[in-house]
Amino acid sequence: MPAQMELQSLVVRPIEPEEEHRWNQLMDEHHYLGFRKLVGESIKYVAELNDQWVALLGWGTAAFKCGSRDEWIGWSREQQWRRLIFLTNNSRYPNKNKIQTFQNKAA
């Protein structure tokens, strides 16, 4: 596990438009599913440690239907229609061991 001081300098932020190609390329190289265009509204994040990219995260629109989620939430059909906009889906998060710079920092 990295030292606490080292993790205090970890920054997680949305990528800039000019970084999207790099994010897509790294995701394609290091995620077991490769890169796929995120469906619906989405946002891409990068985690940086000492100015090095150590993790990539992709968030997208939540699936309209997900049986286990819907059962766990216990919402009615009407509630689902009104509240689905408050959910998101973690679309991509590559395995920390696949990118050398992760060094077990993206647990």
More confident residue, 101 or 8: 8
74 inside domain: yes
Contact 98, 63 (CB under 8 A): no
Q: Which domain holds residue 48?
A: 4-102
67 inside domain: yes
Q: Which residues pair with 75 in a beta bridge?
A: none
43 inside domain: yes
In the chain, the number of structural domains is 1
φ, ψ (nearest 5 deg) of residue 65: -125, 130
107 inside domain: no
32 inside domain: yes
**Could you tell me the maximum CA-CA distance found in the chain, to the nearest angstrom?**
47
| Confidence at residue 93, expressed as pLDDT on a 0 to 100 scale | 63
Quick: pLDDT tens for 39-79: 778 889 998 888 888 888 888 888 888 899 899 999 998 99
